[in-house]
Amino acid sequence: MNKFRFFSIFTILVVFSFQAYSQGYISLHFGPSFSMGDFGDDDIDDDDAGLAGTGFGAGLKYVYPLTDNGLGLFGGLDVILNPIAKDAQDDIEDFAGSTSEFTFPKYINLPISAGLDYTFKANDQVSLFGQAGISLSLLKMTDFIWEEEGDDDYEEKYDLSTTLGFNIGGGLIINDKVEIGLKYFGLGEHDMEGEYEYGTDDGKLDDYNQKVSLFMLTLGFRL
């Protein structure tokens, strides 16, 4: 199935999940973000390593109930920031030497998600919920700058990358107000493109693919 068809299905799900706003609920959530797999590999000698460290994310979710037994649709937006891992930064600085200064990039992930939500009410105080869906993943890597004493600055600028991924998660709802959850994002393989500048020299960076996966521990509040 081509990307256009995926995007069409995604758009339909989002529109449908938001079409009856008054019948559902909105929740806000936030918490730490932990990079996984190649994305979280901090080995600077590994071409597949994303070097991403622990970060932080926040998001908004809307759930529209479909049935009386807890099944519904959800749509959501998250903003997740992961800096370059401290060990990777130290390795780069050790390699370059004491006369170099770096501005390390950060990964900014914006997954826009839609899918199915299920809530099971265990008792009057506690409910369990689970969700699974697809995510339109927007990834922006901020600028990398290498400043060397007595030399021109070297700078890399990266383009916005988009692809499709998935998300799955679940957790507890306390008193129908507070949500404690775990969310996993498999945000696909991003085509990373950009440009470099070094004094009067500039050009395109070599393209590469970066797999992105992470999970978040979240504390949420229903509005």
> How many structural domains are present in the chain?
1
Spell out a b/e string for 200-219, using b for 16 or more CB atoms within 10 Å of the CB, else e: eeeeeeeeeebbbbbbbbbe
pLDDT digits 0-9 by tens, 32-50: 999 999 999 999 999 999 9
Query: Could you tell me the CA-to-CA distances from 172 to 93, 154, 164 in Å, in that order?
Result: 43, 48, 27
pLDDT band at 222 (very low <50, low <70, confident <90, very high): very high
Spell out a b/e string for 160-171, using b for 16 or more CB atoms within 10 Å of the CB, else e: ebebbbbbebbb
pLDDT digits 0-9 by tens, 194-214: 999 998 899 999 999 999 999
C-beta of residue 147 within 8 angstroms of C-beta of residue 193: no
pLDDT band at 68 (very low <50, low <70, confident <90, very high): confident
Q: Would you state the pLDDT for residue 24? A: 85
Which of helix, strand or coil describes residue 87? helix
Strand ranges across the sheet with 154-158: 100-103, 144-148, 154-158, 194-198, 201-204
Q: Would you state the pLDDT for residue 1? A: 45
pLDDT digits 0-9 by tens, 139-175: 999 999 999 988 999 999 999 999 999 999 999 999 9
> What whole-number distance in Å separates Cα of residue 24 and Cα of residue 65?
6
Q: What is the rounded average pLDDT for all residues in the chain?
A: 91
Paired sense of beta strands 71-83 and 25-35, if any: unpaired
> What whole-number distance in Å separates Cα of residue 117 and Cα of residue 122?
16
Q: Would you state the pLDDT for residue 198? A: 94
- For residue 91, pLDDT beyond 50: yes
Query: Residues 126-151: what's their mean pLDDT?
Result: 95
Give this prediction's pTM: 0.87
C-beta of residue 209 within 8 angstroms of C-beta of residue 189: yes
H/E stretch holding 15: helix 3-18
81: DSSP letter: E
Domain span holding position 199: 3-222
Query: Residues 182-191: what's their mean pLDDT?
Result: 96
Q: For the domain that residue 137 is a member of, what is the CATH number?
A: 2.40.160.20
Query: Residues 120-140: what's their mean pLDDT?
Result: 95
> What whole-number distance in Å separates Cα of residue 136 and Cα of residue 128?
26
